[in-house]
Amino acid sequence: MELCVLPNEERVKVFREQTKTQKPVECVWNVPGLEEIGPGKPKPNLQTPLKLFYGGSLAPARLSPLILKEIIKLAGQIELQIVGYATYAAQKYIESVVSMNKEAGQKTISYHGALSRRSELLAVADSCEAALCLVPMSSQDLNMRTMAGASNKPFDAMARGLAVVVSDLPAWTSMYLEKPEDVAGAGGDPKVRIPNPGKGYGIAIDPESKESIQAGLNWMVNNREKLWEMGQRGRQKIKNEWNYEDHYAKMTERLIK
């Protein structure tokens, strides 16, 4: 083994400590290939509801009932498109999602199931404006704590021109918001973080705080053109830098020497 590749700097550190390896260990994020980049998205139609996207495994730790309840409260203003599969332990959770949606009286949440074709998933994503890419604020699981860069969700969303909604954790805000500022609260913990004007690729919230979720959803509903601008910046970032071809170029050069 001449080279080890891991998708997160903290994972690289732990790997070196645990294995005592003397081989090179590189951090390369799980970014998409250039062929995954979608066409530029038109500005949103403000006469229609804001559409959010969630793709991936379905479990309360990733898509909490708290978030779903707050989205349902904004029925008519927000729609959530879900694509993914439920783990065995989360089967009842899916039933509760369907039940909550029925109680809302209108189809605020659409569950498309686990689509077999990548093109079908991308078609759903392309109909949306922002993607939920949230992780727990704390976890005993090392992999869950070190998902920034390892998770392909935000990169894939950016490639399709979607703004990202990430957890308000330092590793995530520094990557996707650059230099965030508190725009929703004065003093104490901010309710929602928004990047400085002309910067960043999305917003950050605390997915375990009702107030933070509400602040984030309301900001998106009222700032859809800014959200669109974030999506455009994200798509360009993937095209120019955060793509498989660029990230693995240095790995390939090292391996063929």
Contacts of range 156-159, beta carbons closer than 8 Å, 24 or more positions apart: 156/32, 156/36, 156/55, 156/125, 157/53, 157/125, 157/130, 157/131, 157/133, 157/234, 158/201, 158/231, 158/234, 158/235, 158/237, 158/238, 158/242, 159/32, 159/36, 159/37, 159/38, 159/234, 159/235, 159/238
pLDDT at 24: 77
pLDDT at 247: 77
Q: Does the structure show a pLDDT above 90 at 207?
A: yes
User: Bigger pLDDT: 5 or 234?
Assistant: 234
pLDDT at 118: 87
Q: The tokens of 188 are what? A: 């104490």
Reference 208, options 1, 91, 97, 67; nearest CA is 67
Secondary structure (3-state) at 102? helix
- What's phi and psi for 37, nearest 5 deg? -75, 130
Give, to the nearest 10 degrees, the angle between helix 224-240 and helix 210-222: 90
pLDDT at 161: 98
CATH (domain of 212): 3.40.50.2000
**Total tally of structural domains belonging to the chain:** 1
Alpha carbons 248 and 101: distance in angstroms, whole number: 43
Least confident among 117-121, 140-144, 183-187: 183-187
Q: Does the structure show a pLDDT above 60 at 185?
A: no
Q: Does the structure show a pLDDT above 70 at 228?
A: yes
Q: Does the structure show a pLDDT above 80 at 171?
A: yes
pLDDT at 237: 97
* CA 53 centroid distance within chain: 9
Q: The tokens of 94 are what? A: 């899916």
HSE of 100, CA atoms in CB hemisphere, 13 A = 22
Q: Does the structure show a pLDDT above 70 at 1?
A: no
Q: Note down the domain range covering 207.
A: 38-241
Q: The tokens of 257 are what? A: 């020497």
User: Bigger pLDDT: 7 or 159?
Assistant: 159
Q: Does the structure show a pLDDT above 70 at 188?
A: no
User: Bigger pLDDT: 181 or 36?
Assistant: 36
Q: Using one digit for the tens of pLDDT, what is the confidence trace for 70-116? A: 999 998 999 999 998 877 767 777 777 767 766 666 678 888 888 88
HSE of 169, CA atoms in CB hemisphere, 13 A = 19
pLDDT at 142: 74
**Contact predicate 92/120, CB 8 Å:** no
Residue 19 lies in a domain: no
Q: Does the structure show a pLDDT above 90 at 158?
A: yes
Alpha carbons 122 and 241: distance in angstroms, whole number: 21
Q: Using one digit for the tens of pLDDT, what is the confidence trace for 12-37? A: 777 777 878 777 777 788 899 999 99
pTM for the model stands at: 0.89
Residue 16 lies in a domain: no
Query: Whole-number mean pLDDT of the chain?
Result: 85
Residue 29 lies in a domain: no
Mean pLDDT (whole number) for 121-125: 93
pLDDT at 60: 81
Residue 14 lies in a domain: no
pLDDT at 104: 60
